[in-house]
Chain A
Amino acid sequence: MQRRHLLCAAAVLAGATRVGPARAHGGLVLPPEAPPAVRLRLQDGRQLAPAALFGGRVTAVQLMFTGCSATCPIQGALFAEAERLLLARRPAVEDLQLVSASIDPLADDPKALAAWLGRFGAGGLWRAAAPAVADLDRWLDFLQGRRAGADRHTTQVYLFDRRGRLALRSVDLPPAAEVVRLMTELAARPA
C-alpha cells in the first residue's frame, strides 16, 4: 500500500515535470542506484563517502552553493521548513536527514557550509557537504544535477533510502511538506 502511494506520488511528480527540456526529470529511480564513492566534506570538517553519510537514514539532498543568491535561498528556506516539520513530528524522527550539497567545492569550505546552515537556523537533522573538486563531475553525473543558467544546478530534491541508494528525484522546488511526506513513505518501506 505504501509502495503504491510512493509510486503514485512519483508518477505525479514525473508527469508534472514533462514540460520541456529546461525542466528536471523526476520520479522513482528503479532500481535504486548506489552513488559513486566520492568524498564529501561536511560542515564540521569530516570527510565521508555517501555510503557512510547516507547509510542507515533516509536522506533528502538538494544541490546549492553558498555564493548563489537566486534559487539557493529559496531552496534553503524549503529545507528549513522541512526540518521544522520533521522536528515537530511525534514520535521524534531519528533516521531522517537533510543534506545541502554544494556544487562549488572551491569556495564552499566547512566554514562556508556551516554559515549556510546557520543562515537558515538549521537544527540537528540538516547537514551540508561539498564533494572533493576531483569528484564533482562524477557526483553531478550521478544525480543528473546540471542545469544551464546562472545557478548551474537543478532545484530538485534527491531522496536516498536507508541503504544509501538514490530512490527518487522530485520535481523542481517541491513543497517542504511534500519532501517530508516522501521521506516518511520511503522510510516506511522495507529495506
Chain B
Amino acid sequence: MKQRLVVAIMLLVAGLLLAPLAQRHLQARQRTDLGERLLLGLGGAGDAGPIGSGDAAAAGPLRGRLAGHPDLLPVVATRCVNCHAVDGSKRPPSAAAFGPALGPATLARALARRGGPPSRYDADSLCRLLREGVDPAWVVIDAAMPRYEIDAAQCQALWARLSHPPPS
C-alpha cells in the first residue's frame, strides 16, 4: 500500500514536471504548422488549433500589396511558395529560381545579399522585410515581392518554420 502511494506520488510529480515541457513542445509544433500554412497561402486556422495570442491562428492567409500600390493582391498572387523554394516543404517549387530559397542555410547564415554587406535574418528582420521590403543589410528588395500585413505572431510562426524546417 505504501509502495503504491510512493509510485503514485512519483508519477504525479513527473507529470507536473513534464507538463510544461509538453505544452511548450505542442506550442512550438503549432507555431511551425501555422508557419507552414502561411507559406502555402492558407489561413491560420487549421487542425493545429490556436496558439499563443490566438489572433494569428484565427486569421486568414497573409495579405499583401506591391509597394506603392493601393490595392491588396489576391492570395493566388502573394503565396511565398509562388516564387521561393522552401526547405522541408512537401510542395515542389514551381519557380525555384525566381526568388532565393528559404531555409536556415539562406536565412540564418551571414550572407551578402543584393550587393549589401553580409547579414543574417532573425525573426525581427524577417518581419521587417515582409512588412517594409527592407532586408537585414538595409537593402530594399525587388519591387515584385509584395509587402505584407503580418502581425507578430504570424512572423514568429514563419520564422519558426523557416529556421527549423521539418526533415524532408
Contact = CB atoms under 8 A, between A and B. Distances in A.
Interface stretch (B13-21, B90-98, B154-162): B90-98
Given A149-B97, A151-B98, A175-B71, A69 B143 contact: no
Given A173-B66, A173-B143, A173-B144, A150 B95 contact: yes
Contact of A70 (B66, B83, B143): B83
Given A149-B98, A151-B95, A172 B144 contact: yes
B128 to A, nearest CB: 22
Nearest to B73: A77
Given A172-B143, A173-B144, A175-B68, A70 B95 contact: yes
A177 B71 CA distance: 9
Nearest to B66: A173
Contacts of A74: 66, 73, 77, 144, 146
Interface residues of A, number: 20
Given A73-B82, A177-B70, A150 B98 contact: yes
A69 B99 CA distance: 12
A119 B94 CA distance: 18
Nearest to B72: A77
Q: For chain B, what secondary structure do more than half of its interface residues adopt (helix, strand, loop), or is it mixed?
A: loop
Classify chain B: how many residues form its interface, as a range.
20 to 34
B69 interface: yes
Contacts of B71: 81, 175-176
Contacts of A81: 71
B82 A70 contact: yes
Interface centre among B71, B96, B97 (most CB of A within 10 A): B71
Interface string B3-42: 0000000000000000000000000000000000000000
B74 interface: yes
Nearest to A73: B77
B1 interface: no
A81 B73 CA distance: 9
A140 to B, nearest CB: 19
Nearest to B142: A22
Given A69-B82, A69-B83, A151-B98, A77 B76 contact: yes
25 contacts: A68-B95, A69-B83, A69-B94, A69-B95, A70-B95, A73-B74, A73-B77, A74-B77, A76-B76, A76-B77, A77-B73, A77-B76, A80-B74, A119-B76, A149-B97, A150-B96, A150-B97, A151-B98, A155-B144, A172-B143, A173-B143, A175-B68, A175-B69, A176-B71, A177-B70
Given A70-B95, A73-B77, A175-B68, 6 more contacts: A69-B82, A73-B82, A77-B74, A151-B95, A175-B66, A177-B70
Interface of B: 66, 68-71, 73-74, 76-77, 82-83, 94-99, 143-144, 146
